[in-house]
Structures are given as C-alpha cells and as structure tokens.
C-alpha cells in the first residue's frame, strides 16, 4: 500500500481483520486489483473535502468564545479565533476549557503559557487583560502556530521555543496545560506566584513543592488546579 499510495492511506480495524482504504481514481483502483487480486470500491460522497469542519465547533468558557474562523463569534463575548488546521489544540478539550475558566478568576498580571500549543491560553489571557503575555513550547510548529494565531486575533504575545530542561522566564502567573509529569517539574523551572496546571485526569492528585494547593475544577474526568507559592 505504501508503494501504491505514498501520499497516505487509511487503516481501520474490522471484526474479520484490518481494512486498508485508499482514496483514489479508476487508475488507482486498477493498480489495487493488479497487486492484491481484488478490491471493493465505493464513490466518495460530495463535500468530503469540507466535512472535517463539522468536528470543530466553538465552545464558551465564561466570558470567552473559542472557535474556528468560519464560525460567527458571539458578539457579547471575547472571541478567540483558532485555526484548527494548525493543530495543537482548538480550545474544545476539557483541560483547555478548565484553564480558561480558572484564568478568569485570577487578577490580570504578567503571564507565561508553558506548552502553548496553538496559543489558545496565551491569546485568551491577553484578551482578558493579562500583560505582558509570553508563551513557550518545545515544538517549532507550536511556536509558529501560536504566533500566527496571535496575529490573527490582534494580540501581543512573545513566543519562543525552549529546550525540554531549560529554565523558563519568570512571571507572576504561569499556566501550563501539560502532562502530570511535566507539571511536577514546574517548581524547579519557573519563578511564579500562582500556577494554573492541567492536562491530567481527575483521579490524579497534584501537589507541587513550594506551593499551596488553592483550588481544583473538573470536567468530563479531567482536572485543573490553582497553586499559590507558600
């Protein structure tokens, strides 16, 4: 299949085995017959190239509306427009929504978004009045996506790539929607008065060295926490 369709094909588990699916034309179907001795074909429904958009719906988190550029924002809310084609998070995941809720409970100050992904949290923070806002990630693609989304939303976010073990910039507020293991390392990497963390399941407790646990919120089995320096 890789030789026939190097641009990609789909693999799906079925009760009687694995089904391999290629989206192709009559010539591609002929190649399948020649190599495998048979294949089943079906026409692809019209509008397939836009069907993926139906999976990206806007969400509301307090005063914030987060959605893709083809949806109309609620005029009474602060709109965070995120292009899902850039991946790394669109705001719909429970951990992102929990962080958005918690940010609205904090006094706006300088903020650092650790593991910024698509930039949802950094952009939302800037719209909520946090300044200056900085964002870091270990992936170049995430840095590029955050920069592009910040420009599209008309907010100022200083974005840069960091190494996995690098010390992070100091900020009164740090938000980190990352793994539990990475969150446990934050006290040794950041200088912050308050930490907002998420990215782990509700069943996983989180206590950070040097910080008092202030609050936990949960949604659909996921959790987010606020910690204040002891």
Domain boundaries of the chain, sorted by first residue: 1-44, 89-229
Each of the 230 residues of the chain gets a pLDDT tens digit; together they read 888 888 778 888 889 999 998 888 888 888 889 898 888 888 877 776 666 677 678 999 999 999 999 999 999 999 999 987 655 678 889 999 999 999 999 999 999 999 999 999 999 999 999 999 999 999 999 999 999 999 999 999 999 999 988 889 999 999 999 999 999 999 999 999 999 999 999 999 999 999 999 999 999 999 999 999 99
Chain centre to alpha carbon of residue 15: 33
pTM reported for the whole predicted model: 0.80
Selection from 137, 141, 124 nearest residue 86 by Cα: 141
Selection from 101, 84, 104 nearest residue 148 by Cα: 84
Residue 177 has phi, psi (to 5 degrees) of -100, 85
Fold (topology level) of 89-229:
Rossmann fold (3.40.50)
The full length of the chain comes to: 230
Q: What is the DSSP string of 156-195?
A: --EEEE--TTPPPPP-SEEEEE--HHHHHTGGGT---SEE
Query: Which pLDDT belongs to residue 48?
Result: 64
Query: Which pLDDT belongs to residue 51?
Result: 64
How far is Cα 214 from Cα 226, in angstroms, rounded to an integer? 5
In this structure, what is the dihedral angle of CA atoms 179, 182, 186, 192, given to the nearest 10 degrees? -30
């Amino acid at each position: 299949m890789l030789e026939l369709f190097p641009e990609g094909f789909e693999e799906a588990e079925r009760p009687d085995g694995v089904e391999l699916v290629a989206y192709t034309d009559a010539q591609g179907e002929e190649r399948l017959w020649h190599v495998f001795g048979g294949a089943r074909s079906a026409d692809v429904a019209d509008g397939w190239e836009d069907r993926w958009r139906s999976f990206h719906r806007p969400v509301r988190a307090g005063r914030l509306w987060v959605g893709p550029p083809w949806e109309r924002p609620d005029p009474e809310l602060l709109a965070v427009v995120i292009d899902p084609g850039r991946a790394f998070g669109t705001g719909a995941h429970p951990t992102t929504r929990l962080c958005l809720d918690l940010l609205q409970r904090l006094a706006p100050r300088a903020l650092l978004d650790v593991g910024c992904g698509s930039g949802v949290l950094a952009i939302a923070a800037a719209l909520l009045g946090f300044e200056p806002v900085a964002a870091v990630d270990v992936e170049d693609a995430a840095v590029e996506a955050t920069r592009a989304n910040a420009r599209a939303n008309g907010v100022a976010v200083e974005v840069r790539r960091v190494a996995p073990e690098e010390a992070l910039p100091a900020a009164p507020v740090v938000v980190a929607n990352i793994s539990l293991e990475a969150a446990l390392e934050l006290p040794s990497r950041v200088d912050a008065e308050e930490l907002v963390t998420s990215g782990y399941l509700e069943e996983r407790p989180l206590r950070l060295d040097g910080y008092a646990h202030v609050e936990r919120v949960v949604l659909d089995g996921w959790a987010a926490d606020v910690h204040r320096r002891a």
